Chain A
Amino acid sequence: MSVSERRLRVTTPEGVEFSFRIASPVLRLGAMMIDWALISSAWSVLALVLTPLKIISWDAGQGVMIVAYFVLARGYDVIADWSWRGQTLGKRVMRLRVVDARGLRLTFAQCLVRNLLRFIDCLPFAYATGGIAALVNAKGQRLGDLAAGTIVVHEPAETAPDATVLGDQRFNTLRGQAALVARLRRETTPAEARAAWRALERREQIEPSARLALYAALAAHFRRRAQIPDALVDGLTDEQLVRNVVDVLFRERG
Chain B
Amino acid sequence: MIVNLDKFIAEERPRWERLDAALRRLADDPWRELPVAEARELEGLYQRACADLARLRTYAADPGLRTYLEGLVARGYAEIHGQKTAGGRVRPGLWLAKGFPQAFRRRVGAFWFAFALMVAGGVFGAGAVAFDPEAKEVIMPFSHLLGDPAERVAKEEKAAAEGEDRGADRRATFAGSLMVHNTQVTLNAMALGLTWGVGTLVLMFYNGVILGAVALDYVAAGQSVFLAGWLLPHGSVEIPAILLGGQAGFVLAGALIGRRDRLPLAARLRAAGPDVVSLCGGAALLLVWAGLIESFLSQHHEPAVPYAAKIAFGVAQLAALVWWLARSGVAAAPGGGAERAKGGGA
Q: In the complex, which residue of chain A has the Cβ closest to the Cβ of B188?
A: A119
Return the chain A residue nearest B83 by Cβ: A105
Q: Which of A67, A164, A185 contacts B61 (CB 8 A)?
A: A185
Secondary structure of the B side of the interface?
helix
B138 on the A face (CB < 8 A):
no
Which A161-219 residues sit within 8 Å CB-CB of chain B? Answer: 161-164, 166, 185, 188-191, 193-194, 197-198
Assembled-state Cα–Cα distance A189/B68 (Å): 18
Q: A62 and B172: CB pair below 8 A? A: yes
**How many residue-residue contacts, CB under 8 A, span A and B?**
201
A16 adjacent to chain B (CB < 8 Å): yes
Binary contact readout B175-195 vs A (1 if CB under 8 angstroms, 0 otherwise) = 111011001100110111011
Residues of A within 8 A of B61 (CB): 185, 188, 190, 193, 249-250
Contact A149 B67 (CB under 8 A): no
Interface contact B9-A59, CB-CB below 8 Å: no
Judge whether B260 is part of the interface by a CB distance below 8 angstroms: no
- How far, in angstroms, from A85 to B273 measured CA to CA in the complex? 18
- Interface flags, A82-115, vs B, CB<8A=1, else 0: 1111000000000000011101111111101100
Tell me, yes or no, whether A225 is within 8 Å of chain B by CB.
Answer: no
30 examples of A-B residue contacts, CB within 8 angstroms: A10-B74, A18-B73, A18-B74, A18-B77, A57-B172, A59-B173, A63-B176, A66-B173, A99-B74, A100-B78, A105-B86, A107-B85, A108-B30, A109-B276, A112-B280, A116-B280, A119-B188, A149-B266, A149-B269, A149-B270, A155-B71, A160-B13, A160-B65, A161-B64, A185-B1, A190-B66, A191-B63, A250-B61, A251-B4, A252-B5
A161 and B2 contact, CB distance less than 8 A: no
CB-contact partner of B273 in A14, A60, A113, A198, under 8 A: A113
In the assembled complex, A124 has its CB within 8 A of some CB on chain B: no
Q: Which residues of B contact A59 (CB under 8 A)?
A: 169-173
Q: Mark A113-138, 1 if CB is under 8 A from B, else 0.
A: 10011111000000000000000000
Tell me whether B62 and A190 are in contact (CB under 8 A): yes
Whole-angstrom CA separation of A194 from B66 in the bound complex:
11
| A117→B57 CA distance, assembly (Å) | 39
- Please report which residues of chain B, range 240-276, place their CB below 8 angstroms from some CB of chain A when the two chains form the complex: 252, 266, 269-270, 273-274, 276
**Known A105-B79, A155-B71: A64·B172 in contact at CB below 8 Å:** yes
A228 at the interface (CB under 8 A from B): no
- A26–B201 Cα distance when bound, in Å, is 34
Listed stretches A32-40, A140-148, A232-240; interface member: A140-148
* Residue pair A252, B71 in contact (C-beta under 8 Å): no
Q: Could you say which interface size class chain B belongs to?
A: 35 or more
Contact status A119-B6, CB under 8 Å: no
Q: Which of A18, A84, A193, A250 has a CB less than 8 Å from the CB of B70? A: A18
Please give, as numbers and ranges, the residues of chain A lying within 8 Å of B67 by CB-CB distance.
156, 158
The reply to whether B266 and A101 form a contact with Cβ atoms under 8 Å apart is yes
- Are A160 and B9 neighbours in the complex by a CB distance under 8 Å? yes
Query: How many interface residues does A have (CB within 8 Å)?
Result: 73
A251 with B1, Cβ < 8 A, contacts A59-B171, A67-B176, A103-B77 known: yes
Bound-complex Cα distance A223 to B154 (A): 97
Q: How far is the CA of A100 from the CA of B177 in the complex (A)?
A: 35
Closest residue of chain A to B17, judged by CB?
A160
Q: Produce 1/0 per residue, B95-111, CB < 8 A to A.
A: 00000000000000000
Return the chain B residue nearest A164 by Cβ.
B6
Tell me the nearest residue of chain B to A57, going by C-beta.
B172
Measured between beta carbons, the chain B residues less than 8 angstroms from A158 are: 64, 67-68, 71
Residues in B neighbouring A194, C-beta threshold 8 A: 63-64
- If A13-B81, A112-B280, A158-B68 are given as contacts, then 10 extra A-B residue pairs at C-beta distance below 8 Å, sorted by A number, are A12-B77, A70-B184, A109-B274, A109-B277, A160-B64, A161-B5, A166-B6, A185-B1, A185-B60, A185-B61
Min CB distance, B206 to chain A, in Å? Answer: 16
Taking a contact as CB atoms closer than 8 A, the residue among B175, B190, B270 that contacts A116 in the complex is B190
A149 x B73 contact (CB < 8 A): no
B87 part of interface (Cβ distance < 8 Å): yes
